[in-house]
Amino acid sequence: DAGVTQSPTHLIKTRGQQVTLRCSPKSGHDTVSWYQQALGQGPQFIFQYYEEEERQRGNFPDRFSGHQFPNYSSELNVNALLLGDSALYLCASSLFMRGTALHFGNGTRLTVT
Amino acid sequence: TQLLEQSPQFLSIQEGENLTVYCNSSSVFSSLQWYRQEPGEGPVLLVTVVTGGEVKKLKRLTFQFGDARKDSSLHITAAQPGDTGLYLCAGPPLNNAGNMLTFGGGTRLMVKP
């Protein structure tokens, strides 16, 4: 039973570029959440997708957008990259119900130069 | 915004020593979770505490939820090098229907052989 898989594992981009990160949830899960983890800090919630709709959003600008596909996989898009967007981007899958456990992938390390 | 503060931020100890890390908030949480994250990997759930005053044990790890559900602690007995990692506490914000989490900043533990 595959867990949460994310691709790519590492990515280097230049300021102003756009990036797309991908996530496949754990089998049986219907909800995907994205978190940003800056170096030396705890993860910060970006947004959550369920039934192909954004259900909740954290304090992130509109440059951050996402999508969920019918097979529950998800993409995170970031436009007009800034140096401060350099971080580990974590995808977590779960069931939508409150209180269910999150299962995290190993993340995508994004470096913006 | 409900914030979780963790202390200490860094801890370096010798194998066999005991340690306690703390997770504090000025707000009440319906539950708190503890995760461990190793380099290059996503956070892995260790435990969820739900009831005020609750104590849960996981081998050499003891987790406690404060009576007022505003704080939690993690105590490790006879630490081993395999306990090295980033320990994160997290909780669902009140009045949040989904399962997004607010994370603390983490405690980075290094256990030297």
User: What was the pLDDT predicted at A100?
Assistant: 77
Q: Which residues of A touch B106 (CB under 8 A)?
A: 40-42
Q: Across residues A37-55, what is the average pLDDT?
A: 94
* Residues B70, B22: Cα–Cα separation, whole Å: 11
Which of A99, A102, A103 lies nearest to residue B31, judging by beta carbons?
A: A99
Give the residue-averaged pLDDT of B87-106. Answer: 86
The fraction of chain B above a pLDDT of 70, given in percent, is: 96
Q: Looking at the partner chain, which of A58, A90, A96 has a beta carbon nearest the beta carbon of B42?
A: A90
Structure token digits, residue B8? 């200490």
B39-82 pLDDT, tens digit each: 889 999 999 999 999 999 999 999 999 999 999 999 999 999 99
d(CA A45, CA B37) in angstroms, rounded, equals 17
Max Cα distance, chain A (Å): 39
Q: Is B98 in contact with A55 (Cβ distance < 8 A)?
A: yes
Which of chain A's residues have a Cβ under 8 Å away from the Cβ of B101?
Answer: 43, 45, 102
**C-alpha separations of B108 from A46, A98, B6 in Å:** 23, 28, 10
Residue contact A98–B92, C-beta within 8 A: yes
Mean pLDDT for the stretch of residues A89-94: 97
- Mutation choice for B interface testing from A39, A104, A109 by most B CBs within 10 A: A104
Per-residue pLDDT tens for A2-33? 799 999 999 999 999 999 999 999 999 999 99
Report d(CA A11, CA B88) in Å as an integer: 25
Convert the pLDDT of each residue in A53-72 to its tens digit.
999 999 999 999 999 999 99
Q: Which residues of A9-28 are buried (b: 16+ CB within 10 A; e: fewer)?
A: eeeebeeeeebebbbbbbee
